[in-house]
Amino acid sequence: MMVCSENKDVFSAVVRSNKKIGQRFYRLGLEFSGDCAEPFGKARPGQFAELDLCGTALPRGEAIPEDLCDMAERNILLRRPFSFCDVTVKGDKTVVDILYDVVGPATLRMTTLSAGDSISIIGPLGNGFAMPSGKETALLVAGGMGAGPLLHLAKVLTADYPNIKVVAFAGAKTATTLPFEKRLDEVSEVLGFPLAEFAGYGIESLVATDDGSAGYKGFVTDCLLEWLGRCGLAAKDMIIYSCGPEKMLAKVAEIAQEKNIDCQISMERMMACGIGICQSCAVECKVAGSNETVYKLCCKDGPVFNSNEIVFSN
Amino acid sequence: MKDNVDISVDFAGVKLANPVFTASGTSGYADELADFVDINLLGGFITKSITLKPRKGNAPPRIVETDAGMLNAIGLANIGLDKFIKEKLPILERMTTAVFVNVAGETIDEYVAVVERLATERVIAGFELNISCPNVAKGGISFGTEPGQVSEITSAVKKAVGEKILIVKLTPTVTDISVIANAAVEAGADALSMVNTFTAMVIDIETRKPVLANRTGGLSGPAIKPIAAYLVNKVYNEVAKKNRIPILGGGGIRTASDAIEFIIAGASAVAVGTANFIEPDCTTKIIEGIKKYCVRKETNIKELIGSLGK
């Protein structure tokens, strides 16, 4: 049943495109029509949606990467949460793009979605990134697939906050695992090369790879630290937005705390429902003025949190 | 005609518009699910477990998916009785569906204290006694696996419920569930709820550790449905029928036909759990499907209950 409202709900979307953009990365375009376009048209960067992929077929045997053959045999039951890398309102239609990495039985199925297919989606869910009021510079720090919601944020920031300078940092293990479609390889810089997706919004970007196959050799957090060391900007005028693996987020949070920079991070958890019912997606958070901690819900209280709130597990 | 077909049931003296409940822990305190489904269309609503004091719950990971199911080890995370009364009861008071409060605790006194505080609340039709949670160190399942303990806690809580009905929720992780069901009925249970999740484990072969931080969790979802249907039928035949005690049956119900299987097996009403996570409005489809079945087979719920042939 398709329900139309201004809020989160169970919706039906039509696949517009599903393009392979790298080794294991895809970009899925979903279209929402009529009155149902409005809720997703208002989706904020950092929010997410739950996709039902149970009815989606697996790829043909030979199209399944060898390391995923074993887990491909597993059936899936639960929806899967994804954030958005782009939201575009065109007349009475909204197109939502999702960047995804093929890692298991659900994302393997996702690769077989093709234009015209219909898919059940619950969203938009959760709290997105808070806008940078009173700031002069916004730093977007992405690790691997964490680039998704930060691309969406880049678009919104440049459109709504033209006076704020935005700098993007994108990290990956190696050049081929950067989840971007186009790279402006010809424009070389001291550190890395700009990514076309960010350049399209007029944003400077820095790339870091663990093996140095593209841009800075090392972790994206080290790249960030070096940049902060030479930028000459006051901490109070900056804000960091970050999304990526939890170990990276812990490091970003540590840097933000040391430098006294406001920082928001988008967390990831296994979720059964995504709508605050199952209590699965617990994120341990500090309680102000106390040594106690509480579990907040990634789906409902997050997925975006202030970095100083989170108790990172090692 | 299909729209007005009567699928109402009498459940231990409580008149329900239809036999479909949402199971405890899969529909929050009602406000979360209300964004997706009209709670008042349900036959009954059961809150997530309430304990005397707030509970933080277990460390993550708290869930893992399995083939046709999932394991959870939430650890009874809840806001506690005081906050429940202040924040959630006013929301439940606006409901016209039959509201049941699921109660858990570490000691019998805690269960009794929660029930005593809520027993006079007009909106509450009854209580579901959770003596079957597999994911807490104290209380929970330990009350539900030994007949003497079941009897003791059931009779203690029965004294506190007053006019309200007392449903005892059973764990399937026992040698003979009928022995436990019988102990609950003899100690005053007005109804039985079955089954809670099955204690289970998923192992990460890379780390050689259990995936869940709690090590074990409770298996739910379609994987357990045939076992749950069998256990409902067993308890119906061996305990419930002769004592005229209704069963709230469930375990892996996703569709109307799943629900009808449980009713034929002996359940007077059914609880939908894991399916709410996947399709938050699945209960309304199940209610409509039951109506259609009753029309097509020219039958009604009363005639269907426990009608399993030889």
Low-confidence ranges of chain A (pLDDT < 70): 1-7, 181-194, 314
Look at residue B244 and tell me if it is in a domain.
yes
Residue ranges of E strands in B33-161: 44-46, 63-66, 69-72, 98-103, 124-130
Same domain, A19 and A63: yes
Chain A interface, mutation test: which of B214, B219, B278, B285, most A Cβ atoms within 10 Å? B278
Q: Can you give the residue range of the structural domain that contains A245?
A: 137-270
Same domain, A157 and A234: yes
pLDDT at A314: 64
In this structure, chain A runs to a length of 314
Bridge partners of B217, per DSSP, are B200
pLDDT at A185: 52
Instruction: Identify which of B59, B60, B278 has the shortest CB distance to residue A77.
Output: B278
CA-to-CA distance for A207 and A188, rounded, in angstroms?
Answer: 11
Give how far Cα B25 sits from Cα of A4, B22, B60, Å.
27, 9, 17
List pLDDT tens digits, range B203-250: 999 999 999 999 999 999 999 999 999 999 999 999 999 999 999 999
Chain B touched by A225 (CB under 8 Å): no
Look at residue A53 and tell me if it is in a domain.
yes
CATH number, domain with residue A94? 2.40.30.10
Chain A residues within an 8 Å CB radius of B72: 272, 278, 280
Cβ-defined contact of B277 to A277 (cutoff 8 Å): yes
CA-to-CA distance for A53 and A73, rounded, in angstroms?
Answer: 15
Chain B touched by A278 (CB under 8 Å): yes
CA-to-CA distance for B207 and B269, rounded, in angstroms?
Answer: 43
Cβ-defined contact of A272 to B274 (cutoff 8 Å): yes
As to burial, measured by CB atoms within 10 angstroms (0-12 exposed, 13-18 middle, 19+ buried), residue A42 is middle
Chain B touched by A276 (CB under 8 Å): yes
Q: What contacts A91, CB < 8 A, 6 or more positions away?
A: none
pTM score of the predicted model: 0.93
Long-range contacts of A89-95 (CB under 8 A, 24+ apart): A89/A37, A89/A41, A92/A33, A92/A34, A92/A37, A93/A31, A93/A32, A93/A33, A93/A37, A94/A31, A94/A32, A94/A37, A94/A38, A94/A40, A94/A41, A95/A16, A95/A29, A95/A30, A95/A31, A95/A32
pLDDT at B135: 67
pLDDT at B139: 66
Same domain, A264 and A197: yes
Q: Which of A92, A125, A158 is the last residue in one of the domains?
A: A125
Q: What percent of chain B has pLDDT over 90?
A: 90
Look at residue B229 and tell me if it is in a domain.
yes
Look at residue B82 and tell me if it is in a domain.
yes
Look at residue A310 and tell me if it is in a domain.
no
CATH number, domain with residue B287? 3.20.20.70
When pLDDT is cut at 50, 70 and 90, the band that residue B32 belongs to is confident
Chain B residues within an 8 Å CB radius of A52: 278-279
Chain A touched by B69 (CB under 8 Å): yes
Give the chain B residue nearest A80 (alpha carbons): B278
Question: Cis bond leading into A45, ω under 30°?
Answer: no
Same domain, A114 and A182: no
Same domain, A198 and A266: yes
Cβ-defined contact of A270 to B61 (cutoff 8 Å): yes
Same domain, A58 and A174: no
Give how far Cα B67 sits from Cα of B73, B208, B220, B222, Å.
17, 20, 11, 9
Cβ-defined contact of B277 to A283 (cutoff 8 Å): no
Same domain, A114 and A156: no
Chain B residues within an 8 Å CB radius of A1: 281, 285
Same domain, A141 and A266: yes
Q: Is the pLDDT of residue B299 over 90?
A: yes
Q: What are phi and psi of A146, to 5 degrees?
A: -60, -10
B278, two tokens = 């996947």
pLDDT at A34: 81
Look at residue B68 and tell me if it is in a domain.
no
Q: Is the pLDDT of residue B91 over 50?
A: yes
Chain A residues within an 8 Å CB radius of B33: 275, 277
Residue type, B146: E
A307, two tokens = 């970095």
Among residues B81, B115, B133, B235, the one annotated as catalytic is: B133
Cβ-defined contact of A79 to B278 (cutoff 8 Å): yes
pLDDT at A196: 76
Give the chain A residue nearest B33 (alpha carbons): A277
List pLDDT tens digits, range B65-76: 999 999 999 999
Contact A208, A215 (CB under 8 A): yes
Look at residue A120 and tell me if it is in a domain.
yes
Look at residue A254 and tell me if it is in a domain.
yes
Chain A residues within an 8 Å CB radius of B70: 77-78, 272
Look at residue A281 and tell me if it is in a domain.
no
Look at residue A17 and tell me if it is in a domain.
yes
pLDDT at A4: 34
Bridge partners of B236, per DSSP, are none
pLDDT at A213: 84
Number of domains in chain A: 2
Nearest to A195 by CA among A114, A99, A262, A87: A99
Look at residue B269 and tell me if it is in a domain.
yes
Look at residue B208 and tell me if it is in a domain.
no
pLDDT at A183: 56
Q: Smallest CA–CA separation between A25 and chain B, in Å? A: 23
Chain A touched by B279 (CB under 8 Å): yes
pLDDT at A194: 58
CA-to-CA distance for A273 and B275, rounded, in angstroms?
Answer: 10
Q: What is the DSSP letter of B2?
A: G
Q: Which of A71, A95, A125 is the last residue in one of the domains?
A: A125
CA-to-CA distance for B101 and A186, rounded, in angstroms?
Answer: 65
pLDDT at A115: 97
Number of domains in chain B: 1
Cβ-defined contact of A78 to B281 (cutoff 8 Å): no
Look at residue B1 and tell me if it is in a domain.
no
Q: How many CB pairs under 8 A join A and B?
A: 104
Look at residue B2 and tell me if it is in a domain.
no
Q: Can you give the residue range of the structural domain that contains B180?
A: 9-57+74-198+219-304
Chain A touched by B54 (CB under 8 Å): no
Residue B133 a catalytic site member:
yes
Same domain, A232 and A193: yes
List pLDDT tens digits, range B120-175: 999 999 999 999 877 666 666 778 899 999 999 999 999 999 999 999 999 999 99
